[in-house]
Amino acid sequence: MTRSLRWAIRVTGVIALVGIAALAWMALIVAPPDAVQGDAQRLMYVHVPAAWLAYLAYFVTAASSVLYLIPRTRSLRWDALAGASAEIGVVFTALTIVAGSLWARPVWGIWWTWDARLVTTAVLFFLYLGYLALRRVPGAAHARARRSAIVAIVAFADVPIVHLSVIWWRTLHQQPTVLNPELDPQIHGVMLTTLMVGVAVYTVVYVHLLLRRYALARAESRREELLLAWAVSGDDPEVGRMVVVR
């Protein structure tokens, strides 16, 4: 890990921790309760930023995959970045669903419903879970990178479907609060500010996690190359036996 990467990880980590504390204070104390939903609406400040972070993570995965597939920019670094970002996206998609379910229970009276937004989000979760599983299939690095890149780009098609599902279909889930077709935010004042702070803080959290996960991916890649080299050279039979176990 380079010194600049280590420094970036530390700085983003500190900013993220401070931001999380500020967001918690704003979301739980400063922001007023909703006129209709009451205090349950405070779950918006963890649910919506989690969804935003998942969209961002999958966008980075798709963009990195495109850059990998273009011959001029082809590099296993893009593949490592794609995989790292997708893993973070899967974690936050799960959090979006869980936080959304906890919000739905007091407001809708149910934990889950077969609503277009919920179903397409669940599909998004399983698509990228499948992508992560595909990345673990043994094979040459570039062959694995190529098939993963194609899957990542196809799976990204579900992201706009998730976002527009509440506009295309009649849903229990509310319409977009900020990124609606008129680009006219439906909340104002402290609530809007708190939501924007949440989005900003989650973005910093994403950057921090991405830097760390990318560093791990590069280290794993280097270890794999070294184990393979030792195995082929026959230097150490014990190491050679380790290669077949991932």
Instruction: Enumerate binding residues for another protein (CB under 8 A).
Output: 20, 24, 28, 38-40, 42-43, 46-47, 50, 74-76, 88, 91, 94-95, 98-99, 102-103, 105-106, 140-143, 205, 209, 212-213, 215-216, 219-223, 225-230, 232-233, 235-236
Q: Give dist(CA 82, CA 88) in Å, integer.
A: 10
Burial of residue 80 (CB within 10 Å: 0-12, 13-18, 19+) is buried
Of the candidates 188, 186, 210, the one whose C-alpha atom is nearest the C-alpha of residue 83 is 210
Q: Which is nearer to another protein, 66 or 161 (CB)?
A: 66
Q: Smallest distance, Å, CB 67 to another protein?
A: 13
Q: How far apart are CA 152 and CA 61, in angstroms?
A: 7
Among residues 141 and 180, whose Cβ is nearest to another protein? 141
Indicate the residue among 134 and 161 with the shorter CB distance to another protein: 134
Picking from 6, 39, 1, 9, the residue whose alpha carbon sits closest to that of residue 206 is 9
Runs of H (alpha helix) within the chain: 3-25, 44-69, 76-108, 116-135, 141-155, 158-168, 189-233, 237-243
Burial of 172: CB neighbours in 10 Å, binned 0-12, 13-18, 19+: middle
| Positive or negative: CA dihedral 229, 79, 69, 144 | positive
Smallest distance, another protein to C-beta of residue 157, A: 26
Query: Minimum Å distance from CB 230 to another protein?
Result: 7
Measured from the CB atom, the residue of 132 and 161 that comes closer to another protein is 132
Tokens of 144: 């694995």
Q: How far is the CB of 143 from another protein (least distance, A)?
A: 7
Write the burial class of residue 37 (CB in 10 Å: 0-12 exposed, 13-18 middle, 19+ buried): middle
CB of 176 to another protein, least distance (A): 20
Least separation in angstroms between residue 131's CB and another protein is 17
- Residue closer to another protein by CB (options 91, 161) is 91
Indicate the residue among 56 and 205 with the shorter CB distance to another protein: 205
